[in-house]
A and B are shown apart, each in its own frame.
Chain A
Amino acid sequence: MKQKNSKLIKILYGLIIGFLVYFILLPVMSVIVYGIKSENSLFFSMKGLERSLGYLKNSLIVSFSVTAIATCTGVMLAFTLNRIKFVGRGLLKLLVLLPFVNPPFVGSISYIMLFGRRGLISNKLLGLSISPYGPWGIVVIQVLGLSSLAYILIASSIKKTDTTLEAAARNLGANENDILRSITIPMMLPEISSTALLVFLASMADFSTPLIIGGNFQTLASDLYIQITGLFDMKSAAVSGLILLIPCIAAFVIQKYHLQKKSYFTEETLSSSIEYEEINAYTKFFLISFTAIFISFIFIKYFFIIVGAFTKQWGYNYTLTFSHVNELIGKQYKPFINSIKLAFITASLGSFLGMLIAYLIRFKKLFLSNFVDFAATLPAAVPGILFGIGYLVAFKYPILGIGKWIFTDIKPWILLGTGSIIYLIMIARFINTGLRSGYALLEHINPDMEKASYNLGAGEIETFFRIMAPLMKDAFFASFIRAFTSGMITLGAIIFLLMPSNKVAVQQIFQVVNGGNIGAGAAISLTLSLLTLFLLGVFYTLFNIVEYMKVIKRNKDRLNIWK
């Protein structure tokens, strides 16, 4: 039986489609159209193409290396931290997630402090003055950051390992090596490939690391930035953007439509414990040491950020100072407020919208659901900086650029130059987070639950708020936390859309680091990381308090019934 949806749902759905088309598809299309079609485009001129293809080669060299190393690291971390029992594991499990709260430059800053021209190790310790700038620096920094991403993705799949299958293989005579090679790893392969593609996307999209420590070695993403801000050459930028978009969309499509369907894991095969009962002592030692070393790198990164924040001028004057921090607290706290405002509002709205879309697609079976799903997840594929350029191009003039000829005198509306545009682009990006959270949740909810509510006489809206919303609350919170964390440290998408009045903290770091002021950069990075951690703590506490109060109230109500 086909269910009927009320007008309200249809109108809401229509509005959402409108939003997705206008704020996601249109900007992405603009990048493509602008790259190919603009007046005397460079795309078809050999010179322009050759230039961008050079950067593509650089991008691919970096991204392939990073993907290979970070994915392997992620696999090893996930095995060690989830399948081997050892003392201190809980702490390491937390520490490995630290890179999620640090701004993208923390690695680069520490790297410069240690290996830069006036770096601690290269200059002071070894007396070298060779340049450390180049591809390998980029690879190292990205691996340190993205291994955590790989870890968290693979860990979530390793938790679904069906240990019965390993037991079955053991029972049939396979030794532990055979089992790992023929059962465990092949079973995880779809998830591992999926992770690799997401790491690849993140690496391709990173423009700040090559910019800071790439030296002469620039990638497509960083070239985009240089072309637009440094040389004001939108045409070269458009070509680079287009070439950057192709591998990213390809990776995204493979991940979304091919790999996700292949997953072998099902919900009913959850094992109670996935830890190895017995493990070779050498293997255990190797894996734990590897993990410890990796995490100590993360630690070193933070350690030097802290040191740098309190050092007068790194490389020249190592006296202790509070001037960076003082200046921050005294004058430059505004960007932090902007950051919090931006992250909070966009994470809430994006998560809500994403979950709503997940609900409409999965439960309401409306028209165009494949299209809506594609459009809503598309921003995950498009590098942030490119998405930002899309906004730049699409909303330069009102009404999809047609306004260029019609409203010659009218000021742009919800567009470039207004504060709201950075909010819109961030919401567009975070819909994906909410959507995935929503899908994951709805898989566990039987659609009949909703029908049961209708059957008992509740209306559509009442059902949503009384039945669905309470069920979706935890998933919403998870999505919000993820989006908020990323919102505090995102730069790519908004870098071209920011104005001095709504400058955010990440941008501030980017500017001072680019200007060579390592100490101030370290101070802001440190503050931002701590602030994010603190706020996450606050949100967790608030969420738990609200839950706790509800439990108390429920218990009281229960008592009242008996009175």
Chain B
Amino acid sequence: MEIKIRNMVKKFNGVTAINDISLEVIEGEMLALLGSSGCGKTTLLRTIAGLIHQDCGEIYFNNMEVSDWPAQKRNAAMVFQNYALFPHMNVSENIAYGLKIRKTEKKEIEKKVAEVLEKVKLIGFGKRKIQELSGGQKQRVALARSLVIEPDILLFDEPLSNLDEKLRVSMRQEIRRIQKDTNITSVYVTHDQREALSIADRIVVMDSGKICQIGTPEEIYYRPANLFTADFMGHLNVFSCGIIEENGERYYELFGKKIPIENRGKSIKILLRPEEIDISKNGVDALILDIEPFGSVSRYKLKCKNDIIYADFINRRRVGSFKVNDYIKIDFDVSAIHVIEGEL
């Protein structure tokens, strides 16, 4: 199922949650809506589900307009942030709910529930009460409940935000696997950039009810279109450089390196990801101001000329010997530079 959204607007008590958004979700893809809280991503998801009705704009499922369809008719199953499992029903009853509503035969229900329990690795949990389940198990039940009705669209509303780090990683792989197996068009809301990068085919970065950028994870990560996206994706090194004209040649200068450019607007920012910086004998001098170890990598806060620059170095033992106030020589490849326009 392909989803098209045209000029969607939604306001809550005068506050604009979605501001004229148009968007397409391609059949079978996993699309992540990424943004900080209050950016309108959950509202957008809920309008697709029909749980919230937009003020203006249209929604199309496979070119059929569904803008005024009630939630019940849309067959767009949602996995809720707090799981939204029915506490007065056990696991099987929760999963069977949608089927019972659809007046499926009892035998058929049993078969389908058993199948989906297997799919989410919860065999033998059917009779359990919801209150007895762990967070990860609840999440699987919620997923199973959505899958069992064979939805045209799957919607995820920050499904992993209540889980601990380790579980989150494994659940996100599992959701990815199941989505690819079933090939159901999916929209996945998250505020966690790493989650979006790892799970999605395409990412929509949102801010204040508007779309900042749409692209593949690689595009969003390496080539953010604007400062907001860059900032959100963890770009720490943002430099404002003036354009230098020498002998009819236009270039930027960063740490003594000349970066030739195409013709661009006036205000330009240069982005350089921390992991693109190397330690090199031929590099420029940098003073280590601070070291923040993360385990496999450490983030170094460096002072290079008059700029502060962050660099991530893999923690092999030879690197571990650096200390604060040491001088190191750093270098970077010009091709790692990404240039954008705009003010910070």
Is the Cβ of B72 less than 8 Å from the Cβ of A174?
yes
Cβ of A172 within 8 Å of any chain B Cβ, yes or no, is: yes
> Which residues 66-107 of B have a CB within 8 angstroms of A?
70-73, 75-78, 80, 82, 84-88, 97-98, 101-102
Is the Cβ of B101 less than 8 Å from the Cβ of A172?
yes
> Which residues 110-169 of B have a CB within 8 angstroms of A?
145-146, 149
Is the Cβ of A264 less than 8 Å from the Cβ of B87?
yes
**Closest A residue, CB atoms, query B148:** A172
Q: Which of A168, A186, A189, A277 has the most CB of B within 10 A?
A: A168
Cβ of A3 within 8 Å of any chain B Cβ, yes or no, is: no
Q: Given A164-B82, A178-B101: A171 and B87 within 8 A (CB)?
A: no
Cβ of A457 within 8 Å of any chain B Cβ, yes or no, is: no
Cβ of A167 within 8 Å of any chain B Cβ, yes or no, is: yes
**Closest CB of chain A to B14's CB: distance in Å?**
16
Q: For the complex, what is the distance from the CA of A113 to the CA of B266, rounded to whole Å? A: 89
**Closest CB of chain B to A265's CB: distance in Å?**
9
Is the Cβ of B149 less than 8 Å from the Cβ of A170?
no
Mask: chain B, 296-340; 1 = CB below 8 Å from A; 0 = not: 000000000000000000000000000000000000000000000
**Closest CB of chain A to B3's CB: distance in Å?**
16
> Which residues 128-184 of A have a CB within 8 angstroms of B?
162, 164-165, 167-175, 178, 182-183
Q: Given A173-B149, A174-B72, A175-B72: A168 and B78 within 8 A (CB)?
A: yes
Cβ of B51 within 8 Å of any chain A Cβ, yes or no, is: yes
Cβ of B17 within 8 Å of any chain A Cβ, yes or no, is: no
Residues of A within 8 A of B146 (CB): 172
Cβ of B49 within 8 Å of any chain A Cβ, yes or no, is: yes
Is the Cβ of B97 less than 8 Å from the Cβ of A169?
yes
Is the Cβ of A174 less than 8 Å from the Cβ of B101?
yes
Is the Cβ of A172 less than 8 Å from the Cβ of B149?
yes
Residues of A within 8 A of B80 (CB): 164, 167-168
**Closest A residue, CB atoms, query B74:** A171
> Which residues 33-73 of A have a CB within 8 angstroms of B?
none
Q: Given A172-B77, A173-B72, A175-B72: A167 and B98 within 8 A (CB)?
A: no
**Closest CB of chain A to B189's CB: distance in Å?**
14
Q: For the complex, what is the distance from the CA of A186 to the CA of B93, rounded to whole Å? A: 14
Cβ of A517 within 8 Å of any chain B Cβ, yes or no, is: no
**Closest CB of chain B to A162's CB: distance in Å?**
8
Pick from B51, B75, B85, B145: contact of A170, CB below 8 A: B51
Q: For the complex, what is the distance from the CA of A164 to the CA of B77, rounded to whole Å? A: 13
Residues of A within 8 A of B71 (CB): 167, 170-171
**Closest CB of chain B to A261's CB: distance in Å?**
12
Cβ of A421 within 8 Å of any chain B Cβ, yes or no, is: no
Cβ of A326 within 8 Å of any chain B Cβ, yes or no, is: no
**Closest CB of chain A to B194's CB: distance in Å?**
26
Is the Cβ of A165 less than 8 Å from the Cβ of B86?
yes
Residues of A within 8 A of B88 (CB): 186-187, 189, 264
Residues of A within 8 A of B72 (CB): 170, 173-175
Cβ of A511 within 8 Å of any chain B Cβ, yes or no, is: no
Q: For the complex, what is the distance from the CA of A187 to the CA of B84, rounded to whole Å? A: 13
Cβ of A269 within 8 Å of any chain B Cβ, yes or no, is: yes
Q: Binding site of A, secondary structure by majority: helix, strand, loop or mixed? A: helix
Residues of A within 8 A of B85 (CB): 168
Q: For the complex, what is the distance from the CA of A268 to the CA of B135, rounded to whole Å? A: 15
Residues of B within 8 A of A164 (CB): 80, 82, 84
Mask: chain A, 248-277; 1 = CB below 8 Å from B; 0 = not: 000000000000000010001100000001
Q: For the complex, what is the distance from the CA of A277 to the CA of B51, rounded to whole Å? A: 9
Pick from B53, B82, B84, B98: contact of A173, CB below 8 A: B98
Residues of B within 8 A of A171 (CB): 49, 51, 71, 76-78
**Closest CB of chain B to A294's CB: distance in Å?**
29
**Closest CB of chain A to B15's CB: distance in Å?**
14
Q: For the complex, what is the distance from the CA of A496 to the CA of B80, rounded to whole Å? A: 59
Q: For the complex, what is the distance from the CA of A268 to the CA of B84, rounded to whole Å? A: 12
Residues of A within 8 A of B82 (CB): 164, 268-269
**Closest A residue, CB atoms, query B46:** A167
Residues of B within 8 A of A186 (CB): 88
> Which residues 505-531 of A have a CB within 8 angstroms of B?
none
Is the Cβ of B86 less than 8 Å from the Cβ of A172?
no
Q: For the complex, what is the distance from the CA of A164 to the CA of B73, rounded to whole Å? A: 18
Is the Cβ of B51 less than 8 Å from the Cβ of A183?
no
Q: For the complex, what is the distance from the CA of A169 to the CA of B87, rounded to whole Å? A: 13
Is the Cβ of A172 less than 8 Å from the Cβ of B51?
no
**Closest CB of chain B to A297's CB: distance in Å?**
34
Q: Which of A165, A186, A268 has the most CB of B within 10 A?
A: A165
**Closest CB of chain B to A191's CB: distance in Å?**
12
Residues of A within 8 A of B53 (CB): 277
Is the Cβ of A183 less than 8 Å from the Cβ of B101?
no
Is the Cβ of A172 less than 8 Å from the Cβ of B84?
no
**Closest A residue, CB atoms, query B100:** A182
Residues of A within 8 A of B102 (CB): 173
Q: Given A172-B77, A178-B101: A167 and B145 within 8 A (CB)?
A: no
Q: Which of B77, B86, B145 has the most CB of A within 10 A?
A: B86
**Closest CB of chain A to B104's CB: distance in Å?**
11
Q: For the complex, what is the distance from the CA of A173 to the CA of B86, rounded to whole Å? A: 15
Q: For the complex, what is the distance from the CA of A167 to the CA of B50, rounded to whole Å? A: 10
**Closest CB of chain B to A177's CB: distance in Å?**
11
Q: For the complex, what is the distance from the CA of A391 to the CA of B326, rounded to whole Å? A: 86
**Closest B residue, CB atoms, query A170:** B71
Q: For the complex, what is the distance from the CA of A492 to the CA of B56, rounded to whole Å? A: 62
Residues of B within 8 A of A168 (CB): 78, 80, 84-86
Is the Cβ of B84 less than 8 Å from the Cβ of A167?
yes
Pick from B50, B70, B87, B145: contact of A172, CB below 8 A: B145
**Closest B residue, CB atoms, query A175:** B72
Residues of A within 8 A of B98 (CB): 172-174
Mask: chain A, 454-477; 1 = CB below 8 Å from B; 0 = not: 000000000000000000000000
**Closest CB of chain B to A31's CB: distance in Å?**
39
**Closest CB of chain B to A76's CB: distance in Å?**
21
Q: For the complex, what is the distance from the CA of A186 to the CA of B97, rounded to whole Å? A: 14
**Closest A residue, CB atoms, query B78:** A171
**Closest CB of chain B to A418's CB: distance in Å?**
52
Q: For the complex, what is the distance from the CA of A277 to the CA of B71, rounded to whole Å? A: 12
**Closest CB of chain B to A126's CB: distance in Å?**
49
**Closest B residue, CB atoms, query A167:** B51
Q: Which of A164, A183, A269 has the most CB of B within 10 A?
A: A164
Residues of A within 8 A of B78 (CB): 167-168, 171
Residues of B within 8 A of A189 (CB): 88
Mask: chain B, 41-59; 1 = CB below 8 Å from A; 0 = not: 0000000011101000000
Q: For the complex, what is the distance from the CA of A169 to the CA of B94, rounded to whole Å? A: 10
Mask: chain A, 296-318; 1 = CB below 8 Å from B; 0 = not: 00000000000000000000000
**Closest CB of chain B to A501's CB: distance in Å?**
55
Residues of A within 8 A of B73 (CB): 173
**Closest CB of chain B to A85's CB: distance in Å?**
13
Residues of A within 8 A of B70 (CB): 170
7 closest Cβ contacts across the A-B interface?
Answer: A172-B98, A168-B84, A170-B71, A264-B87, A164-B84, A171-B78, A173-B101
Can you list 17 A-B pairs with a CB-CB distance of less than 8 A? A164-B84, A168-B80, A168-B85, A168-B86, A169-B101, A170-B50, A170-B51, A170-B70, A171-B51, A171-B71, A171-B77, A172-B77, A173-B73, A173-B75, A183-B86, A186-B88, A187-B88
Known: A171-B71, A268-B82. 18 other contacts (CB 8 A): A164-B80, A164-B82, A167-B51, A167-B71, A167-B78, A168-B80, A170-B72, A171-B51, A171-B77, A172-B77, A172-B149, A173-B73, A174-B101, A186-B88, A187-B88, A189-B88, A264-B88, A277-B53
- B-contacting residues of A (Cβ < 8 Å)? 162, 164-165, 167-175, 178, 182-183, 186-187, 189, 264, 268-269, 277
